[in-house]
Amino acid sequence: MEAAPATAQSVPAQAAAERRRHARVSVSFFGTLRLAAGASAECLVLDLSLGGTKIMLGEALAIAQGDAVGLDIEKFGTFRTEAMWRRDKFVGLRFNDPPETIAAAFGNFLPPGE
């Protein structure tokens, strides 16, 4: 008897979800990522939680894990973040601002109970 093969994304996706402290919601906001060295790039904010966000860069930008970056999101403000991972044009950012600041900025967009 053979076990059904796991899909390529099911196990990693579950593991990532279990590591997260805050629930994420899908969003679609335009923003600008600003590096400390002065470089910047337009981006699309794809998901959001009290702890961080996933963005998609619109152009090439040299960003590595651990880089401190500013994230300007139209209508919501500027947030201090740190790059946690990068895969091609996608970047995971952790907010350095306290959860209360994030909740105040994005209140209606965050999951209930956050």
Question: Is 10 a member of any domain?
Answer: no
DSSP H helices, 1-114, are 10-19, 99-106
pLDDT of residue 98: 92
Q: Which two tokens stand for residue 6?
A: 């796991």
Please give the chain's pLDDT, 114 residues, in tens. Answer: 444 444 344 334 444 444 556 688 999 999 999 998 889 999 999 999 999 999 999 887 889 999 999 999 988 999 999 999 999 999 999 999 998 999 999 988 887 654
CA 41 to chain centre: 15
Q: Which two tokens stand for residue 63?
A: 């960003």
Task: Supply the range of the domain harboring residue 52.
Answer: 23-109
Number of domains in the chain: 1
Question: Is 27 a member of any domain?
Answer: yes
Question: Is 88 a member of any domain?
Answer: yes
pLDDT of residue 24: 85
Using CA atoms, how far residue 14 sits from 90, 112, 114, in Å, is: 19, 21, 20
Radius of gyration of the chain measured on its C-alpha atoms: 15
